[in-house]
Structure 1
């Protein structure tokens, strides 16, 4: 209810106005039907042809839509998994919109990409799957978060309670008295009629409709339409309503056996209510604490604690931590990397992505060959008496090692100064090492070995500085000499940290050459 569909509408409009076709993929028939209606309403004043592919459409309508997609007369097609079938051929596909992306498998999503190599893909979800979230955080995919709720929108009040008839009656009657509607979620088709009879006895004043995926298409369509038009005020349903159903008048949802749902599912189901300015309520009913698993309890606690507007993204971060990131090139959408740790894996991936963005070939044999090694021959660390807590020390070491520009490094240094005060000698040496590491990386210097009487510079086979700068240095300074094609020795006496760093910076500054003036 934050406006993801609005983003899709505008992206589709841009694509169609530029002469491209748009495919909108939805996980359920009900959502495809709803999107088709929304798109038709919004594009009514424009020369845009919209087709729908789902089981609600007849065979004749489906055949006509497929022919239109192939000939190019259909501009926007909205459909369920039917869009992925081999029969569908697009004339000029430009944009694929995947709604509720967490409901699809990797192969299904990649099948759409394979239709055309240069197709743009826009995925919409309140709760991204661990693999997608990890790919976004690693820079393989761009992502943006809609964090601002629509005006007057209130957070949904969430209660986890033991199931009882009194609670159900009280929750439903409160909603009906204010003219609203209620979803009652019962996710077992075999026993849904028994539940219907119990609700009829418990709530004689309610008009109850039933909706589940095993109903005939026409019946399901009719029930959903009647509920939307308020002929029913209680809808007894399965998770078929989970994704994207938009009914602003329904503001209470009651979930039977909420402990059986996943975290993303709970968030999606809760998101079916609270889509207007009225206060919405979600009741997650369980058989009691003793009858549910520890993991289920964790999920229910998380969903109850994260009830702020827009909390789906943070729930997904929890999910990523609990389940792991999955494979970028494989089919698994969650799970851990076994051979390398997650941080190392992310770093390798980041290096490869950055190389590709610069148009360079990633070095797969030596992914960390570009990291410069600095040895100042003196202690370079955060002493125990300066940062007493082991966790804080490790965190700061990690942050320092992860910095890839001077600005980020200065931020970390400021943070250390603020929290712990004046830097001791060993900490100053550590900071100097990281500053030099960044300078050397930009110049293509592989290693610096700085002892008290001499400093040795080892260059990479393809350094990033002008060779004439090096020749100029060797001609003007008698304390420098080459010890092979990639090794240079500087004879200098440097007893303390400052003099040693100063000597190194004299050379690195000369290799970098004069700075180019900034363009206004």
Structure 2
């Protein structure tokens, strides 16, 4: 059995049975053949066909309802506990991550029929008062929590409002009346007065809590590291070329694999595996030109970009220092009200989200203005971070302004803030073009005298007529979508009040690390575990399939996006859809509509007054519609992968299964077919699309650093730009930083060292393994890679063993400061290493050979040892000699 995450073997199996994913053979069903769809009779898979199975069942299927539940057990709890502990240890021994196992078994007892409990309170205090009534009536009240950690937090929260609650391991009617926290999940709560027991789900105690599965694990957003023949690559010293594949070459009697890179004018560079760390896939937009091998252009371009990046780093450092020395308001630490607000959060925070919230609050408590960027995809919890910050500001008597680029987002943010803060006497208002003049004047007047705590609006909030009484926090959603003048006004705020910026555009992790000392960035990249992967269909336009998809979504109470990206024919398409589905409510939106009409249509859809939004790609960002879980894209072949990625991100934001239909004609170009295939390949949550995610990261870099920097990224490629940025940041902080012109240790040993195609058959997999081998940082990492190769591909052939041996030689050579290790005519020469006085004796003992030393040069000759063993043993002796 192989771990999907690491591709390593976790245990051996004697046999494996592979079942069909679905029943595909429909022959022999003559009696029902006429009832099958035409596609099914031809052997083509029909979506939803499996759901017809129950219609053929002669016996009515049994339905189990939650109202009648029998609690039972088959083994004593101690036996089950021992069995679970043994299973956990067994999985751990096999290399599995340590699983978080929690279980609880009740006593064997009678069946009870009890109505499920619904949410019945808006605050924790109100919930406690109602639970007091049950306890006073002689009932033991159990609050079921999703984990032991949540049980402890619940005990603490009740203690803060002067209620005694104890943690218990099971529901026990023999316990005295009181409040008990119970680690364990229950589907529904119930009250059973005759038995003196009531059970509540922790999530349903407060009326504003919505149903949510616990978020655990989740896959982080993945980054793109794939390379294929024909892709552009960047060599750190030679510039942009085209990867032509791996080629085996014999040089001086040794066979090695080389990466073949072609340059302008037909020149070719063969890069050995030891230097593959100098190569990166070029990512920086379309239109890049190949460089001339050995030409001066590449050096000129990198020098120009280096100067621009240096100026950028200096400006960032200046702003950071000015903000660090400017006086600001130090908000007090959290109190009881903040903890109660946290308890009312509808979901369990992901680790990323908790870290972002904690960091933002820590920033606010410092006596200097905060300027923090929180990055995360829509639905990952950025808005909750701003809610917590705004609540903290309100409790300190400070006001908050939240800026959003569109009135639709203003409406969504206002709704969220009111849901979360309405029961805490925090007044939330909004201003947009839809606000009546009289209401606008009243809201502005109340904001000026401090009666409005949170004001949400578009860039209009930056006008002179908006005069807060005591502003403490400015939240900016998607700052890059504001104009230059508005950005300048926001920049002014950053020197006097706390500023929190939210963005859904991904920012590369390497850039986050490089800017860590100059820009405060928090990243929320863990998606909710309750979300499901989007099922994606790619194929030619099929009107019957469109009809089926929309009908299914309407039947479950959801909504659909139908994307047709040609304004001149969008009304005609909408009319055809209305004829196809006369009972479905359609609305149309595109960018050439008057702005007020467009916003009206969007609000109409957001409020659930339409089932299908027929639209252009204007919906690719900024809309958060949890009930929209079907996407239909007409002519998806005409769109870029990044655009398709963002479009598909409009759906799948709830626990409902989401469906994406990407239609393209059969005659689509090869390039467009590759884009669509990529969408099919990357359906996992948070995996991102190979090219699209990196394309979006470039946008994120431009948004973060300025539009000019996007051009510099295009000039030298993403990875090279990050290297230059890292140098510039270190220089701006006064840290010594050498020019990053890699000078690898030269290792010349006469032996075959490569991964044979018959051993690792996939060429791209071999490239990846070569890159990993060239970047190994310790002898332990070499052994880990060796174990992985044996695990995945079998016993190491001699060329593969030699390849890993060369990695060890290179690491040992670096450790002793050597610049080259060569073996010619039976003589090993190590150049550049400083040999201690004990070195000759140690080398002789390790190799049995003769040793000659001069300043910076050690020569060893030993009969009976192959070049690799001689090099390893000699270098290990030099390491021991110090």
What TM bracket, shorter-length normalisation? 0.5 to 0.7
Aligned to 1:105: none
Correspondence 1:77 to 2:475: yes
Distance 1:149 1:482, change over 3 A: same
One of 781, 787, 799 as aligned partner of 1:408: 781
Alignment deviations for residues 463-510 of structure 1 (CA, whole Å, 9 cap, x no partner): xxxxxx947879999998874xxx334465423244553333222222
Check whether the contact 1:40–1:50 (CA below 8 A) recurs between aligned residues: yes
Separation in structure 2 between the aligned mates of residue 165 and residue 209 of structure 1, nearest angstrom: 19
Correspondence 1:176 to 2:554: yes
Aligned to 2:872: 501
Alignment deviations for residues 276-335 of structure 1 (CA, whole Å, 9 cap, x no partner): 33333333344x323x333333333332443343343446368699x9x99x99857599
Gaps of 5+ in 1: 102-127, 461-468, 512-520
Gaps of 5+ in 2: 1-375, 445-458, 845-849
Distance 1:501 1:254, change over 3 A: closer
1:213 partner SS: coil
Correspondence 1:265 to 2:639: no
Aligned to 1:99: 503
Check whether the contact 1:458–1:488 (CA below 8 A) recurs between aligned residues: yes
Separation in structure 2 between the aligned mates of residue 139 and residue 63 of structure 1, nearest angstrom: 35
Alignment deviations for residues 344-380 of structure 1 (CA, whole Å, 9 cap, x no partner): x59966995998799853332x6124x33345x5436
Check whether the contact 1:50–1:76 (CA below 8 A) recurs between aligned residues: no
Aligned to 1:303: 679
Alignment map for 1:109-188 (pairs within 5 Å):
128=506, 133=508, 135=510, 146=525, 148-151=527-530, 153-163=531-541, 166-188=544-566
Aligned to 1:381: 753
Separation in structure 2 between the aligned mates of residue 42 and residue 252 of structure 1, nearest angstrom: 28
Q: How many residues align?
A: 460
Aligned to 1:367: 741
TM-score (norm 1): 0.66
Deviation at 1:73, TM superposition (A): 0.7
Correspondence 1:86 to 2:492: no
Check whether the contact 1:55–1:217 (CA below 8 A) recurs between aligned residues: no
CA RMSD of aligned residues (A): 5.3
Alignment deviations for residues 8-31 of structure 1 (CA, whole Å, 9 cap, x no partner): 532774699599999988665533
Aligned to 1:465: none
Kindly name which structure, 1 or 2, has the bigger radius of gyration based on alpha carbons: 2
Separation in structure 2 between the aligned mates of residue 6 and residue 210 of structure 1, nearest angstrom: 30
Deviation at 1:221, TM superposition (A): 3.6
Separation in structure 2 between the aligned mates of residue 386 and residue 255 of structure 1, nearest angstrom: 42
Aligned to 1:441: 814
Deviation at 1:435, TM superposition (A): 2.0
Alignment map for 1:341-352 (pairs within 5 Å):
345=720
Alignment map for 1:216-255 (pairs within 5 Å):
216-255=594-633
Higher alpha-carbon deviation: 68-77 or 385-394: 385-394
Separation in structure 1 between the aligned mates of residue 622 and residue 501 of structure 2, nearest angstrom: 14
2:808 partner SS: helix
Check whether the contact 2:462–2:489 (CA below 8 A) recurs between aligned residues: no
1:86 partner SS: helix
Separation in structure 2 between the aligned mates of residue 150 and residue 171 of structure 1, nearest angstrom: 25
Deviation at 1:81, TM superposition (A): 1.2
Aligned to 2:335: none
Higher alpha-carbon deviation: 140-149 or 350-359: 350-359
Distance 1:210 1:353, change over 3 A: same
Separation in structure 1 between the aligned mates of residue 630 and residue 423 of structure 2, nearest angstrom: 35
Distance 1:43 1:457, change over 3 A: farther
Check whether the contact 2:387–2:420 (CA below 8 A) recurs between aligned residues: no
Deviation at 1:6, TM superposition (A): 0.8
Check whether the contact 1:26–1:99 (CA below 8 A) recurs between aligned residues: no
Check whether the contact 1:24–1:98 (CA below 8 A) recurs between aligned residues: no
